[in-house]
């Protein structure tokens, strides 16, 4: 029989979302099918923008005619989209990232894992704690995590984030080769300042580390002084890869499109010490293992950069952020400590009374009829917290928060 990748065996069964679903359905059964408001889902609820829909219709028509039909596209993405990204997301903001540095993807999640093809198997990987679980799980599958003891993997370097450090990771003592940073952060909802991120860029430059900067939620940044792109920090283009997505920016979670920036200035070395550009390696990897994102999805993504698209992005992200702010205010009112929500659709809340995440989850489910995500699912430092999301209708958000206030105030 085939010998399989033993690392899968090490991977703990991801029970977070299935357990949330199981508890919700148990509650419904006990309460005659009572309606539950889902405040736990990290998925958009609003439809695609009208001009994005039009662009997709046009793209389909193009594929329907033999005169304009297209088959395989460039593995790196179509230049109409790479150019639009370079212009709007970088050049317009004074950042020298060009189309040749940008690779179109089918979303952020795939490339977060795919990048593991580029750095050495021996790399020591640093992750924030709590964190979006994909960074840890990818490291386990690729055999970089070591052994699991008390919720921590022996070869991972954990960057613990809590109220004492304002949820900002502190530079590690040990040398980290690859550092996953995510801002605005899922799950804490906190965003990072130029000064704080500048320390990480300095660290990476000094140590020769790579930062993989997940900025899937950059469109939610509102405050001045808060980072949208790591390349706003001088010298970051020599140490960082940035991962972006149209999922939360423009409602593409089902459509699938994102991009990964691998600046041509970013260098690594082979085992014999000879230098190589990561852009060239990534290009080689993509042309071997990827055949490009769908033409229709790329046309849709390009429409996001039209004046109409950009104003819809603002409107949609404002809407979700307004929900987040309603959530944060309500939780603060009943005496919880609540974080995030200002440059992010996520609110991170703790009862501050030693209740664990699942206890808080169950209490809110049974007392208020809404679901949350237990923070412990995002790492050991998530224990005692719940994550709430602004991805909902205003009506649902207001109803859930009225129930909270009625029950606890
Ligand atoms: N990165 C973070 C921090 C996320 O929260 C998510 C999705 O929830 C992703 C990446 C994945 O995004 P995509 O839909 O582009 O794969």
- The CATH number given to whatever domain includes residue 374 is 3.90.1150.10
DSSP assignment, residue 193? Answer: B
- The CATH number given to whatever domain includes residue 84 is 3.40.640.10
Query: Helix, strand, or coil here: 331?
Result: helix
Q: Helix (H) and strand (E) counts for the chain?
A: 13, 17
Same domain, yes or no: 160 and 269: yes
C-alpha span between 201 and 181 (Å, rounded) = 11
Q: Of 317, 241, 258, give the one whose Cα is nearest residue 109.
A: 258
Shortest-distance Cα residue to atom 12 of ligand 1: 108
Query: Helix, strand, or coil here: 185?
Result: coil
Residue 400: predicted pLDDT: 98
The 10 Å Cβ neighbour count of residue 110 is 17
User: By the 8 A CB rule, do 295 and 81 touch?
Assistant: no
Q: How far is ligand 1, taken at its centre, from the CA of residue 243, in Å? A: 9
Residue 279: predicted pLDDT: 98
For strand 385-389 and strand 373-374, is the pairing parallel, antiparallel, or unpaired? antiparallel
- Residue among 213, 215, 248 whose CB has most ligand 1 atoms within 8 A, to mutate: 248
What domain count does the chain have?
A: 2
Same domain, yes or no: 377 and 233: no
Q: How far is ligand 1, taken at its centre, from the CA of residue 125, in Å? A: 19
Mean pLDDT of 348-365: 95
* Residue 408 half-sphere exposure toward CB, CA atoms < 13 A: 20
Residue 33: predicted pLDDT: 86
Instruction: Name the band, by pLDDT with cuts 50, 70 and 90, for residue 13.
Output: confident
| pLDDT at position 15 over 80 | no
The 10 Å Cβ neighbour count of residue 399 is 17
DSSP assignment, residue 304? Answer: T
User: By the 8 A CB rule, do 150 and 207 touch?
Assistant: no
Domain that holds residue 322: 14-43+309-408
Interhelix angle for 16-30 vs 357-368, to 10°? 30
Pocket lining for ligand 1, CB < 6 angstroms: 42, 107-109, 132, 182, 186, 214, 216, 245, 247, 253, 258
Q: 182 - beta bridge partners?
A: 214
The answer to whether residue 352 is domain-embedded is: yes
Per-residue pLDDT tens over the stretch 281-320: 999 999 999 999 999 999 999 999 999 999 999 999 999 9
User: By the 8 A CB rule, do 188 and 360 touch?
Assistant: no
pTM over 0.95: yes
């Amino acid at each position: 029989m085939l010998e399989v990748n033993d690392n899968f065996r090490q991977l703990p069964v991801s029970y977070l979302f299935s357990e949330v679903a199981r508890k919700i359905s148990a509650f419904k059964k006990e309460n005659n099918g009572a309606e539950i408001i889902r405040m736990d889902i990290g998925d958009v609820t609003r439809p695609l923008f009208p001009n994005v829909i039009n662009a997709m219709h046009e793209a389909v028509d193009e594929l329907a005619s033999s005169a304009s039909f297209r088959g395989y596209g460039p593995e790196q993405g179509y230049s109409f989209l790479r150019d639009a990204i370079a212009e709007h997301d970088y050049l317009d903001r004074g950042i020298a990232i060009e189309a040749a540095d940008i690779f179109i993807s089918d979303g952020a999640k795939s490339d977060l894992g795919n990048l593991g093809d580029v750095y050495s198997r021996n790399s020591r990987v640093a992750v924030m704690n709590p964190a979006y679980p994909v960074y840890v799980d990818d490291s386990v599958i690729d055999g970089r995590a070591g052994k699991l003891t008390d919720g921590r993997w022996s070869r991972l370097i954990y960057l613990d984030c809590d109220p004492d450090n304002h949820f900002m990771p502190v530079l590690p003592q040990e040398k980290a080769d690859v550092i996953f940073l995510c801002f605005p952060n899922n799950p804490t909802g906190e965003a990072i300042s130029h000064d704080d991120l500048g320390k990480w860029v300095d660290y990476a430059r000094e140590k020769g580390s790579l930062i993989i900067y997940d900025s899937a939620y950059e469109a939610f940044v509102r405050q001045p002084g808060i980072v949208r792109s790591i390349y706003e920090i001088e010298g970051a283009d020599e140490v960082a890869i940035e991962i972006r997505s149209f999922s939360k920016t423009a409602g593409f979670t089902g459509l699938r499109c994102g991009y990964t920036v691998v600046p041509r200035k970013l260098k690594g070395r082979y085992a014999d010490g000879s230098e190589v550009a990561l852009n060239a390696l990534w290009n080689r990897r993509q042309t071997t293992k990827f055949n490009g994102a769908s033409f229709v999805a790329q046309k849709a993504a390009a429409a996001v950069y039209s004046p109409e698209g950009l104003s819809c992005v603002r409107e949609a992200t404002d809407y979700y952020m307004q929900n987040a702010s309603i959530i944060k205010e309500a939780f603060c009112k009943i005496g919880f400590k609540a974080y995030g929500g200002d440059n992010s659709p996520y609110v991170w809340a703790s009862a501050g009374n030693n209740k664990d995440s699942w206890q808080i989850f169950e209490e809110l489910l049974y007392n208020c009829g809404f679901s949350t995500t237990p923070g412990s699912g995002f790492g050991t430092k998530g224990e005692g917290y719940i994550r709430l999301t602004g991805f909902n209708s205003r009506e649902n958000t207001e109803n859930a928060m009225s129930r909270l206030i009625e029950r606890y105030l």
